[in-house]
Amino acid sequence: MTRPPSVITQTGPKTPCALRTLRHWFDTRDSDAPPDPRSADRIDWLRATPFVILHLACLGAIWTGVSATALAVAAGLYAVRMFALTGFYHRGFSHRTFRASRPVQLLFAVIGAACVQRGPLWWAAHHRNHHRNADTARDPHSPRIHGFIRSHMGWFLTRGAFRTDLARVQDLAKYPELRWLDRYDVAVPVLLAAALYALGGVLQRCAPQLGTDGPQLLVWGFCISTVALFHATVTINSLAHRWGSRRFRTCDDSRNNFLLALLTFGEGWHNNHHHFPGTARQGFRWWEIDLTWYGLRLLAALGLISGLKPLPARVLAAARR
């Protein structure tokens, strides 16, 4: 007689919890399963260890020193990755405000994966969830509900936050290359770190006048640049829901913040975005600097993307009023 499904038990050896967590550093496949509700909001310190190490590694600048070359590499990687994150992970993947061919989509997905903010499916799923539940108890990074530290970075390290809700990104999950990047989200960052270390070694031998080496480019080009990129990005979750102006009466606490808009290439016009997220443009007025919008328009002019969703006239008229 067959047992009912509810009482069928699993047999065979189970992977110890610590080893399973360590495996998730490299393969996030099992993270798609919902976590135990009793521990979903707790920080998973073992799994968060690489995040902590990345921050501590920035102190390596004390020993490596700094050079103009290292600063230029750090700034360049910050800018390129910020554009991939804001232009494609956010406005492209999360909100579908333009179309891109699969090669272009993959290129910027890889660059976005180098931001160490997990994979493209994870990023889009969490952001879509944020818009559905902004500043409610179901919003994992609402400063109104959870306070500053939790909304800024604590939520990112919880057991529940590691999961990719594939039900929210079925339009993206059909691309196997995006699912691979999501599953092995550590692969691109590790390759970038290794490439920077190798580049520094080459420059030390071939162009010693640049004053750099492998450890220096690793610390500045990868660690410091990535940490700065992460904290600039998540200020939109924390600070842009607390400080700034509110042009539109949205159902959340989103605000426009000029300084954050500069740091995040236009994401700081957050109240604009929450009022009308269906456009690739977030700076609604001519003086609202939106570097990502300018970059997307350039890609459209070059024929690399198409179908940029503009700002409707009625929304623009409301912004002017």
Residue ranges per structural domain of the chain? 42-244
pLDDT tens digits for 102-154? 999 999 999 999 999 999 999 999 999 999 999 998 898 999 998 999 999 99
319 pLDDT band (50/70/90 cuts)?
A: confident
Distance CA 138, CA 241 (A): 15
Q: Is the pLDDT of residue 70 over 60?
A: yes
Predicted TM-score (pTM) of this structure = 0.90
Task: Please state the rounded mean pLDDT for residues 163-181.
Answer: 94
Q: Tell me what pLDDT residue 153 has.
A: 93
Helix ranges (H only) for the chain are 17-23, 49-57, 61-64, 68-83, 102-113, 120-132, 143-146, 148-152, 170-173, 176-183, 187-206, 214-217, 225-238, 258-263, 270-275, 291-301, 313-320
Mean pLDDT, the chain, integer? 90
Distance CA 102, CA 26 (A): 25
Q: Tell me what pLDDT residue 44 has.
A: 85
Report the phi/psi class of residue 12: left, alpha or beta, with left for phi > 0 and alpha for psi in -120 to 50.
left
Task: Please state the rounded mean pLDDT for residues 254-262.
Answer: 97
Q: Is the pLDDT of residue 2 over 90?
A: no
Which residues, in sequence order, are CB contacts of 207 under 8 Å at separation 6+?
none
At residue 305, φ and ψ (nearest 5 deg) are -135, 165
Q: Tell me what pLDDT residue 10 has.
A: 40
> Could you tell me if 84 and 104 are in contact, meaning their C-beta atoms sit under 8 angstroms apart?
no
